[in-house]
Structure 1
Amino acid sequence: MNSREIIVNVLGNVFNEKAYSNIVLNKTLNKAEISAKDKAFITEVVYGTVKYRYTIDVILSHYVKKGFKSVEPYVLNVLRSSIYQIRYLSKVPDFAVVNEAVELSKKHSSGKVAKFVNGVLRNYLRNKDEEYVKGNIEDILAFKYSFPRWMVKFFMNDFGKEKCEIILKGLNQVPGVTVRVNNIKKSYEQAYSELSELGYTIEEGEICPEALRIIKGKSIENNPLFKEGCITVQDESAMLVGMVMDLEENMTVIDLCSAPGGKTTHMAEIMNNTGKILAFDIHENKLKLIRDNSERLGINNIEANTLDASEFHEDLEGVAHRVLMDVPCSGLGIIRKKPEIKWNKNKNELKDLVNIQRKILKNGSRYLKKGGILVYSTCTLNKEENEKNINWFLKENPEFKLEKIYVGDLDNLIYHQEGYVTILPNKYMDGFFIAKLKKS
C-alpha cells in the first residue's frame, strides 16, 4: 500500500466513521513498513485535509455538479486530499498530484471514475485563483480558516469579530511540543542542559516555570529523559491548572476527571510526592494511563480508582483540601490537535454537556473541606460550559467565592473582571478556561 492509499483510508475512518485522527493515524503508521519521510508526508496530508475540509468541500462543490452524494466516499477523499496538496503544499508538483489521484481511482474503481477525478482536478487547476466565496463576514471567515459556518458564528457571538479571527487562526496552528520538567527527578536546569546535549533545539516556556518548548529534535517519546520520567509532554494551558491550585505538601487532593493523568501527576510533582491524590475516572481502562504515567515519573502518592463524577459519593464528603474538576467538555479549544472536532460536533451536543458539568460541579464542591479551593477547568471556548456554569454555581452555593487568577501578561490571556481566565489558542497553548473558587 503506497502513501496516498494510506492517506485516503485514514481519511475514510475519520470522515465516515468519526474516528479520532491521531489514534487511527498512529495505529496505521505503526503497522506500515514505510520510511520516516513517507510517514511525515502522510501525517501532513491527513491532518491538513481534515483541518481544511470545509474550504476544500466549498471548492469541490463548484466542480462536482451532481453533488457529493453522487460520488462514492473513497473517491471523494481522493479528491479532498488532492485539493489539499495542490492548494496548501508547495513541495508536490500539481501534475504529480493529479496523476497519483487518477491512478488511485483506477485501482479502486473504473476508468470512468478516473476520468471524472482527472476532470475535476484539472478544472480546479485552471481556476485556482477564483474567488469561491462572496458574502458576509461569517462566510468569508469560514472559507478562509475552514471552519463550519455555525462554529464561526458561535465564536463571533461570544467573542466578537477580532477575537473570533484570533481564535480561528490559533486553532489552525500546527501544535508545538511542550514538555514539563519533573522536579522529583531532575532540576529544570539539568533537563535543559541534557536535552541540549542530546541535540534538541529548546527554549523556555512562555509562562509556566516547569515548561520547556521543543523547537527541533527527534520524537520525545524515544528520548532517554522521557523514558526515565524526567520530562512529560503537556501543554502550557494544562500546566496552569496545577499552578493556580495553591497546593502544599501533605494535602489531600481529589481529581474527579483525571485520565490520562497529566494534571494529576503535575499536582503530585508540585506537592513533592507527599500527601494523597485521589484520582478518579469513569472509565476503568483509562486508569492504566494514570498508573503507567505515575510509575514512569516516580510518583507514589496517587490512588487511581473508577468513579462516576456526576453521582454524589457520601464517603468523600469534606475530605479534600483541594478539588480539581477538569470536566468533560466540547473540546473547542483543542481543535489544533484534534481537527476532526470541527466536523464531529454540533450545537446540540454542546448543550447536553452542560447538565453533566453542573452535576460534577455540585458534587465536587461537597468533597471540599471548609477553607478549601476548588478549580474548574475546560479545554473549550464555550461560555455556556465556562462562565455561565460558574455563575450558575455561585448563585446556588453562596458559601463559595471566586478567587482572582493572575499568572502573567500574555496577549492570549483574557482576565475576566469576576476572576476567572480564558486562554485563547496559539502555537504553544490550547484554548482553555480556568476558574478558582474558595469555600468559606
Structure 2
Amino acid sequence: MKLLPYKNLFIGITDTLNQVFFHNKYADRELERTLKSNPKWGSKDRGFIAETVYDTVRWKRMIEASMGKDVAEDNLWEFVGTWFVLQDEKLPFWDEFKKLSPKEILKRNHAATDKNFAVRESIPQWMHDLGEKELGNQWKKEVEAMNIPAPTVLRVNTLKIDRKGLKNELRQERIDTEVLSKFPDALQLKEKTNVFRTHSFKDGFFEIQDAGSQLISPYLNVKPGMRVVDACAGAGGKTLHLAALMENKGQIYSLDIHEWKLLELKKRAKRAGAQNIQTKVIDSTKVIKKLEGTADRLLIDAPCSGLGVISRNPDAKWKLSLDFIESIQKEQEKILNDYCKMVKSGGAMVYATCSILPSENQLQVEKFLKNHPEFKLVREKQILPSQSGFDGFYMAYMEKV
C-alpha cells in the first residue's frame, strides 16, 4: 500500500507500535483499539495503518539492522520512516524524518542482510538456531512462509447454512470469496474487509478460522450422539466446529482454565445455534476426575509456542523466548498425562498444537505412548505453512485399547 502523508495516521501507527513493543500488548488488539478510537478515518486510512503496523512488526529485526540500532520509545518515527525508505517510498518533509538518510539506510540494510538469514527474514537469533536444530533445511522454508501475511478464511457454520448459501449471502453484502476445494467448510476472502459487521456474521453463518485449523475437529472423527471433551477449549473455535460436525446431537464438554474465554465461547455458541455444549472451568483436579473414563472422544488442543501461526501473529516472534518454549513443553507433557484419563476404553483422542517443532509434537506423542501402553497411535499429520499456504498445525489420533 502506498504511503499516505497524513501526520495523524503516523501518530496512530507509532502509538500502536509503542504498546506492542514496549508494553507487551498484542498487535491485533492494539490495532483494533487505535482504529475504534478514530472513527472518522476512512477505509484507505485504516488499511494503511493496519498494513504498516503489521509490516513493521513482522520486519522489526531487519528494520533495526537498517537503522543501525534497536527500536526504542524515542525513535519510533525513525523506525517507521526507515521501513518506508526500504519500500522506496518518499518520506514527507516532517521534522521527525529530517535525520534519516536513505543512502545510509540502504547501505546498512545490504551489509546486514546479505549474509545473515535471520536478519534478512527478521527472526530472533535464538529462534533461528532452535528451528535449524529441529527442522534442518526445512526451517528456512517455514521462516519464509511466516513472512507472508495470512489470508482471511471463514468456516461455514453448517448448523445454519451450507457453503454455497454463505457465498451467495456474502456476495449480496458485496464481499467476494473463493472456495477452498481441499477444505469442505472453508471460504477465503478475496480482499481483506471487516466481516464482523456483516449480517451473515451476526446471524451466526460463519466463524473466522484458518483453513489449517479447520482440519483438527474433523480429525477427531466425531459422530452425532457422542460424548466429547474439548479439554483446552479457549474461546471455542474448535468446539463450535465439533458441534456442527455432531449436528447438535450428543454432548460436548468444553474445558479451560480461563473462565473469561469460556464466557466468550458461550456468546459464540449462542450466535452459532450450537446447543450441545457445556462449559466447565478447570479450577481443580476434581473437574477432570469427574469425567474420568467417560469420553468417546477427547481433543487436547494444547498450549504451545505458536510457531505455526506466526504469519497471523507476527508480534509473537518478539514475545516468545527459549525459556517459555521449554516450560510449555513440560506443560504439554503434564496435560497429556493428566487429561488422557477422561478417554474411555474403546474411545480416542487427538493431541494437537499450532507448532511446527517436533519437540512439541511427534516427540511429545512418542514420550506419551511409552508411558501409556493403553493408547496406540493410529495416524498423525503435520501441516507446514510452506506447503499448505495456511497456518501450521500438528495432530495425532490415538485410540485407547
Same fold? TM cut 0.5: yes
Question: SS in structure 1 opposite 2:190?
Answer: strand
Q: What does residue 408 of structure 1 align with?
A: none
1:95 aligns with 2:70: no
Q: What does residue 245 of structure 1 align with?
A: 220
Give the counterpart of 1:44 among 39, 47, 51.
51
Measured after TM superposition, the shift of residue 256 of structure 1 is: 0.9
1:366 aligns with 2:341: yes
Q: What does residue 307 of structure 1 align with?
A: 282
Question: SS in structure 2 opposite 1:384?
Answer: helix
Structure 1 pair 388–226 and aligned structure 2 pair: CA distance change class (3 A)? same
Give the counterpart of 1:131 among 89, 93, 111.
111
Task: Report the AA paired with residue 336 of structure 1.
Answer: S
Give the counterpart of 1:331 among 277, 285, 306.
306
Q: What does residue 24 of structure 1 align with?
A: 30
Give the counterpart of 2:62 among 39, 50, 55.
55
Q: Please list, as runs of the form range in 1=range in 2, the aligned pairs for 1:42-191 lying within 5 A after superposition.
A: 42-61=49-68, 68=70, 73-88=72-87, 93-96=89-92, 99-100=93-94, 102=95, 105=96, 118-124=98-104, 127=107, 130-135=110-115, 139=116, 141-161=117-137, 163-191=138-166
Q: What does residue 269 of structure 2 align with?
A: 294
Deviations 1:212-258 (A, max 9, x none): 11113642111211111111111111111111111101101111110
Measured after TM superposition, the shift of residue 178 of structure 1 is: 0.8
- Normalising by the residue count of structure 1, what TM-score does the alignment of the two structures yield? 0.85
Q: What does residue 7 of structure 1 align with?
A: 13
Count of matched residue pairs: 393
Deviations 1:6-52 (A, max 9, x none): 11111111111111100111112111132222111111111111100
Q: Please say if residues 156 and 164 of structure 1, whose CA atoms lie closer than 8 Å, have aligned partners that are also in contact.
A: yes
Task: Report the AA paired with residue 46 of structure 1.
Answer: V
Q: Please say if residues 66 and 108 of structure 2, whose CA atoms lie closer than 8 Å, have aligned partners that are also in contact.
A: no
Q: Distance in 1 between matches of 2:397 and 2:133?
A: 25
1:387 aligns with 2:365: no
Structure 1 pair 134–128 and aligned structure 2 pair: CA distance change class (3 A)? closer
Q: Distance in 2 between matches of 1:218 and 1:365?
A: 41
Q: Please say if residues 275 and 301 of structure 1, whose CA atoms lie closer than 8 Å, have aligned partners that are also in contact.
A: yes
Q: Percent identity?
A: 29
1:439 aligns with 2:371: no
Measured after TM superposition, the shift of residue 122 of structure 1 is: 4.3
Structure 1 pair 235–130 and aligned structure 2 pair: CA distance change class (3 A)? closer
Q: Distance in 2 between matches of 1:95 and 1:278?
A: 55
Task: Report the AA paired with residue 84 of structure 1.
Answer: W
- Normalising by the residue count of structure 2, what TM-score does the alignment of the two structures yield? 0.92
Question: SS in structure 1 opposite 2:136?
Answer: helix
Deviations 1:330-378 (A, max 9, x none): 1111111111111111111100011111111112210011111110111
Name stretches of at least 5 consecutive residues in structure 2 with no aligned partner: 1-6
Structure 1 pair 132–310 and aligned structure 2 pair: CA distance change class (3 A)? farther
What is the RMSD of the two structures over their aligned residues, measured on CA atoms?
2.0
Give the counterpart of 1:266 among 241, 251, 273.
241
With 317-326 and 216-225 compared, the bigger mean Cα shift is at 216-225
Q: Distance in 2 between matches of 1:309 and 1:433?
A: 28
